[in-house]
A and B are shown apart, each in its own frame.
Chain A
Amino acid sequence: MTDGGDLFEQQRANRRGTAWLMLGFVAFFAWLGFGGDFVLREMTRDAAAGEYHHLFPWITIGTVALSVIAIVYAWSTGPQNVLWATGARLLQDPATPEAKQLANVVEEMAIASGLPVPNIYIVPDADPNAFATGWNEESSSIVVTEGLLQMCSRDELQAVIGHEMGHIKNLDIRLMTLLAALVGVAALINDGASRLLRSSGDSSSSSTWSSSSSGSSSSSRRKGGGGTIVLIVAVVWILSILLAPLITRLLALAVSRKREFLADAMSAQFTRNPGALANALVKIDGADAPTTSINRGVAHLCIADPLGRSVNGRPGFFADLFGTHPPVEERVERLREMAYEPGPAGEPVPAG
């Protein structure tokens, strides 16, 4: 049983990752604000004595405050927003045999993992998929699609739920939910910023941005000596606004792949039946219609890529860079190895 060390190491890594993510988010906004302050300062440097000089970094303070508010918002509403975005509904008292079975299976896996029973949500979608969200073990949710319930046998469903319980136990859910919430915020800001930039692109239009800040003297100023630095900073600055969603997306990809292997292994530890998870993964992968109710923002939370993108399907460099999930073949192969050979601790796997 290597349970203790690995688990706590993973939880620590996730706590650390969450802190770094928030720090990086604030730093990025500080950079956005700083760029604005810098450009404004350069523009008003040679202004007449009576005119406005931009000396105090108001914009930086503003954007940092904005990012802190965004994080607090993401923290307080993250799981609800993720659930809402997928149209999941809470399973309260299971009536149908399928729902009862799901509730039972979740309870079984909660016992096997030694965690409190999470909330169960069902997404009305015919494509099989599942994910978990929440901030900690006590307030976590497991979400499955109707397609998963119909397609999987009891053992396979159990293995998938075991995989999600692994994510909860590792605290993967915290980092990944925060990431989902921040990806949403970043996309929102990117949309707003690019709209703003587009409208200020035609300088003749009545854009509040260019007319109020630079005024009539802006054209002559840009040809001046300080102009090149301003220009470079401005270009890097604008680029970073435009690239923000891509960067957050890449981040989401990078953090989620390693975790999938680990959660697969934990599912095997809980169910002692890795073959069932392998079968479930093959089924989920085989139904390659995209899960329409799960959008890009929460894709990295799911057990298998909901978007049916080709990069996730096969191994290789681009898959390594852009896939949210490791190739299913590789995961299945590892699970099959676990199923046919003695586990790493030397105990026969199909016990219990």
Chain B
Amino acid sequence: MAPVLVAVVVLGVAGLWFIATFNRLIGLKNQVANGWKQIDVQLKRRHDLIPNLVETVKGAMSFERGTLEAVIAARNQAIGLLRGGGGAVPSGAEVRQLAAAENQLSGALGKLFAVVEAYPQLKATGNVTTLQEELTSTENKIAFARQLYNDQATNYNTAQQQFPTNMVAGVAGASPAELWEIADAAEREVPKVNLAAT
């Protein structure tokens, strides 16, 4: 009688643990998916702001066509990728592609602002200052959304890889989420400062 009772209790405890762990993994997974969606929202915001910006600066710097076109091209490419994204936890390839496209856009925007700095009369108009604040904020929002996503993905990945949770991970359909990393080699490089040239 007693061994049966012990077996029932052990099985019961194991069952409860299984349910709790399963649910925790699902919760973490949904957090990651939500974090990804937040990045999407902010990226879309940035894409929507860019036509405004280009429109504002176009007249004053018509001879800087290359810089403007680079921004527009990078934006269009990123938009195409964004539309493809669903609401679930993204696949590794999805994250890498979008990260690469957005990094390119960030780089193009950075160059544009560097050029704007060289046009004091352009900077003086209130429009550009407002837009600049909006874009700074959007860049920050993207960075923070990315930071949150990476934290959540790390929590999720750690949870599903740790023992004994990893035994449940397969049943819960958990697979490691891809972190959003800086794919662009140029962005990772330490900027070179040459004071002698000036």
Contact = CB atoms under 8 A, between A and B. Distances in A.
Chain A bound to chain B: yes
A111 interface: yes
Nearest to A270: B144
Interface string A97-122: 10011001101110111100000000
A158 B143 CA distance: 14
Residues of A contacting B: mostly: helix
Contacts of B146: 352
B148 to A, nearest CB: 5
A1 B38 CA distance: 20
Interface in B177-197: none
A114 B42 CA distance: 13
A352 B147 contact: yes
A3 B147 contact: no
B91 interface: no
Contacts of A97: 129-130, 133
B141 A114 contact: no
A111 B42 contact: yes
B148 A100 contact: no
Interface in B149-164: 151-152, 154-155, 158
A97 B131 CA distance: 11
Interface in A80-104: 97, 100-101, 104
Contacts of B99: none
A352 B137 CA distance: 14
Interface in B5-43: 35, 38, 42
A272 B147 CA distance: 10
A3 B151 CA distance: 9
B35 A107 contact: no
B137 A104 contact: yes
Contacts of B151: 1, 3
Query: Interface centre among A4, A112, A154, by most B CB within 10 Å?
Result: A112
B155 A108 contact: no
Given A111-B141, A111-B148, A352-B144, A100 B133 contact: yes
Contacts of A272: 147
A108 B133 contact: no
Interface in A144-159: 154, 158
Contact of B148 (A112, A154, A158): A112
Contact of B144 (A1, A100, A101, A108): A108
Contacts of A100: 130, 133
Given A104-B137, A111-B38, A111-B42, A3 B155 contact: yes
Contacts, number: 49
Chain B: interface size category:
20 to 34
Interface in B121-137: 129-130, 133-134, 136-137
Nearest to B42: A111
B130 A108 contact: no
Contacts of B134: 104
B161 to A, nearest CB: 14
Contacts of A3: 151, 155
A105 B146 CA distance: 16
A272 B140 CA distance: 12
Contacts of A1: 151, 154-155, 158
Contacts of A104: 133-134, 137, 140
Nearest to A4: B155
B160 to A, nearest CB: 14
B145 interface: yes
Contact of A108 (B35, B129, B140, B152): B140
A4 B75 CA distance: 36
A112 B144 contact: yes
A351 B155 CA distance: 18
B35 A114 contact: yes
A113 B145 CA distance: 9
Given A1-B154, A97-B129, A97-B133, A108 B141 contact: yes
Given A1-B155, A111-B144, A101 B133 contact: yes
Contacts of B141: 107-108, 111
B94 to A, nearest CB: 21
Interface of B: 35, 38, 42, 129-130, 133-134, 136-137, 140-141, 143-148, 151-152, 154-155, 158
6 contacts: A101-B137, A111-B42, A112-B147, A112-B148, A270-B144, A352-B147
What 3 A-B pairs come out closest when comparing CB atoms? A104-B137, A112-B144, A111-B144
